[in-house]
Amino acid sequence: MSTEALRIVWIYPDLLSTYGDRGNMLILARRAAERGIPAETYEVRSDQSMPHTADIYLIGGGEDGPQALAAQRLIADGGLHQAVAQGAAVLSICAGYQLLGHSFFAKGAKCAGLGLLDITSDRGETRAVGELRGEIDPRLGLPALTGFENHGGRTHLGAHAAPLARVTGGIGNDGQTEGAWAGKILGTYSHGPALARNPAIADLLLRWATGADRLAPLDDTWADRLRSERLAAATPA
Ligand code: GLN
C-alpha cells in the first residue's frame, strides 16, 4: 500500500456483497478522484489478512451464514480493530453493521460481534423489506437518508452509539431509529450501494479520512432528484 494515496478497503467481498456493495467502493474512489485526491482500492477476501493501515473500510450486507463466518474471521484477524484504533473510518451496511456490534443473531444462534459499535441485534418478528427513509442526526449536517432495507434483525443502541437517523419511513433499527454512528464508524440498514443514493455520506467519509473541512461540490443532480422523488412518494397526499 502506498503512503500518499487514500486507501479504501472493501472487506470480504466473497462473503458480504448481497446487493452490489462494490458500488460503495467505486463511488468513494470516484468522488475522491474528482477532487484530485488519489485513491487506491483493495478488495480483501476472507482468506486474506486484513490490513490495518487503510483509511476507509467498507463492509456490506449478507445472508446469515456468511455474516457469522465473516464475524468469526474478523475477530480472529484483529486487523479491523487495529485500524479503528488508529482512526480509520468505517461504513457498515446491514449484516456488516450488525456484526460490528456486541452480538447478533444468525441462523437462530446468538453470535459474537466485533464490539466496535455499542449496539446489539436480535431477531425481529417480521422481516423488514422495502424503502427506508430518515432524518439524519443534525450533527452530521447531511440531507435525508433514503435507501432500501431487507433484514430480519432488529438493533438496539447502547449509550456509546448515536442513531444515524430518525426513521420517517420503513423500519431501520426498530421503527424509530435507523443505523448508528460513533467516532468515524457509520452503520446503516440502507442496503447495497447506499452511497449512490446518499452521496453526501460518501463525502462525509472522505472528509473524515482526509481531515478536510469541506470538499468541492460535485454534480449530484440525479441523486438529489431520486431523493426528492422517494421523499415525495412517502408523503401522504
Ligand atoms: N442476516 C441479517 C438479517 O437478516 C442481515 C441481512 C442483510 O444483510 N440483508 O438481519
Quick one: pLDDT at residue 160? Answer: 98
Give dist(CA 61, CA 24) in Å, integer. 12
Distance of CA 203 to CAs 91, 161, 171, 226, 227, Å? Answer: 12, 21, 25, 18, 16
Q: What is the tens place of the pLDDT at every residue in 153-169?
A: 999 999 999 999 999 99
Question: What atom of ligand 1 comes closest to residue 121's alpha carbon?
Answer: 10
Residue 97 to residue 104: CA distance in whole angstroms: 10
Q: Which of 52, 111, 151, 191 is catalytic?
A: 191
| Predicted local distance difference test score (pLDDT) of residue 154 | 98
Q: Give residue limits of the domains in the chain.
A: 6-233
Report pTM.
0.96
Q: Which of 18, 15, 13 is nearest to 192 (CA)?
A: 18
Topology at the third CATH level for domain 6-233: Rossmann fold (3.40.50)
Q: What is the pLDDT of residues 82-128, one digit of tens each?
A: 999 999 999 999 999 999 999 999 999 999 999 999 999 999 899 99
Is 111 tagged catalytic?
Answer: no
Annotated catalytic, 94?
A: yes
The grid coordinates listed for 6 are 487514500
Q: What number is the ipTM of this complex?
A: 0.94
73-85 pLDDT, tens per residue?
999 999 999 999 9
How many Å apart are CA 192 and CA 169, to the nearest integer? 18
pLDDT exceeds cutoff 80 at 192: no
Query: 14 pLDDT exceeds 50?
Result: yes
Residue nearest to atom 6 of ligand 1 (CA): 151
Mutate to test the pocket of ligand 1, among 16, 91, 97, 98 (most ligand atoms within 8 A of CB): 98
